[in-house]
Amino acid sequence: MLAVGRDPKGKTWIVCAAQKFSKGRALAFTADTTGKSHRELVGFGIPSPWPKFWGQAVRWLAGFDEMRKKKDVYLSLSTESRFVEPGKAVELSTAVKGNVKNLAGRPSVSVSVVTPAGETVRLQHSLDGKTLTGSASFTPRSVGLYTFKGRLEDASGKLLDESEYTVLAGQPWLENANLALDEPALKELARSTGGKYYTLASAARLPDDIASSTTKGVERVTLSLWNNPYVFLLLLLLLSAEWYVRRRNQLL
């Protein structure tokens, strides 16, 4: 059991639980991470923690980190977010982890990125010789998936590890991009339809405004069609056209 919650009556509910299952792991999460807890944060411009949570959860369930840690030395790639905007620079962080003390000499790291069009772009990468951490920058130009590929070699050029990291350029939640109240549009709609716009602060005036409003009467206008000259001309035109068609086809 990883997380619990309590209701107003003090009853404890399991929120997150995990256990080993066969050769892998199973995870149960009982809260809604796509509803209010996500949309409200995005609506106020606050980054939602749930994409990162589920990304890390899937990696942990799949045993990805454990498989990498079985290596003596491995390369880790990461960005601040898996979702980026086209036209804005993405900072890719790299770190050499594991038994780095056993390395003979300074290792080297090379980084490239595969664009949605399938083009491979080699990135300029800087590696700190003391911390064995580095960074590379790339600016996505179009919407789609970008796959960063890292290659770790020892001082002699021997391959030690290869790593991949994927980010999505674009806006994955346009539905939740702006959840704020659009007051100008509501006021214009009320004005154009002859109504009034009320907020919670002014809603108390609504009963008085309804009582004081003037009821508009309905005037009924009856239009006779049997003695209308336009209707008579239309009828005469149709009869003449029928007579002409019959006469031409020798039906008369």
Whether 122 has a pLDDT exceeding 90, the answer reads yes
Mean pLDDT of 28-39: 77
> What pLDDT is recorded for position 252?
62
> What pLDDT is recorded for position 151?
94
Cα(186)–Cα(176) distance, rounded to whole angstroms? 19
> What pLDDT is recorded for position 20?
83
> What pLDDT is recorded for position 231?
84
> What pLDDT is recorded for position 21?
79
Name the residue type at position 157: G
Cα(132)–Cα(71) distance, rounded to whole angstroms? 17
> What pLDDT is recorded for position 238?
92
The CATH number of residue 160's host domain is 2.60.40.10
Residue 8 three-state SS: coil
Within-domain flag for 191: no
Mean pLDDT of 71-99: 87
108-114/144-153 β-pairing:
antiparallel
Residue 109 three-state SS: strand
Whether 120 has a pLDDT exceeding 80, the answer reads yes
> What pLDDT is recorded for position 48?
78
Instruction: List 97's β-bridge partners, or say none.
Output: 74
Total domain count, the chain: 1
Name the residue type at position 84: V
> What pLDDT is recorded for position 206?
85
DSSP 8-state assignment for residue 210? H
Query: C-alpha angle with apex 197: 193 to 203, nearest 5 degrees?
Result: 140
Cα(39)–Cα(53) distance, rounded to whole angstroms? 16
Lowest mean pLDDT among 22-26, 79-83, 146-150, 232-236: 22-26
Question: 244, 235 in Cβ contact below 8 A?
Answer: no
Within-domain flag for 111: yes
Mean pLDDT of 181-207: 87
Within-domain flag for 165: yes
> What pLDDT is recorded for position 39?
72
Within-domain flag for 190: no
Against a cut of 0.75, is the pTM above it? no
**Host domain of residue 145:** 71-175
> What pLDDT is recorded for position 81?
81
Within-domain flag for 49: no
Whether 112 has a pLDDT exceeding 80, the answer reads yes
Whether 181 has a pLDDT exceeding 60, the answer reads yes
DSSP 8-state assignment for residue 194? T
Within-domain flag for 195: no
Cα(73)–Cα(60) distance, rounded to whole angstroms? 19
Within-domain flag for 217: no
Question: 84, 90 in Cβ contact below 8 A?
Answer: yes
Residue 134 makes CB contacts below 8 A (sequence gap 6+) with 93, 94, 95, 109, 125, 126, 127, 128
Question: 78, 165 in Cβ contact below 8 A?
Answer: yes
> What pLDDT is recorded for position 217?
63
> What pLDDT is recorded for position 17?
92
Share above pLDDT 70 across residues of the chain, in percent, rounded to a whole number: 87
pLDDT category, 237, cuts 50, 70, 90?
Answer: very high
Cα(33)–Cα(53) distance, rounded to whole angstroms? 10
Whether 229 has a pLDDT exceeding 60, the answer reads yes
Within-domain flag for 13: no
**pLDDT, tens digit (0-9, with 9 covering 90-100), for 123-143:** 999 888 889 999 999 999 998
CA trace torsion 103, 109, 114, 119 (10° rounding): -130
Residue 170 CA from chain centroid, whole number = 8
C-alpha closest to that of 57 among 22, 86, 93, 18:
18
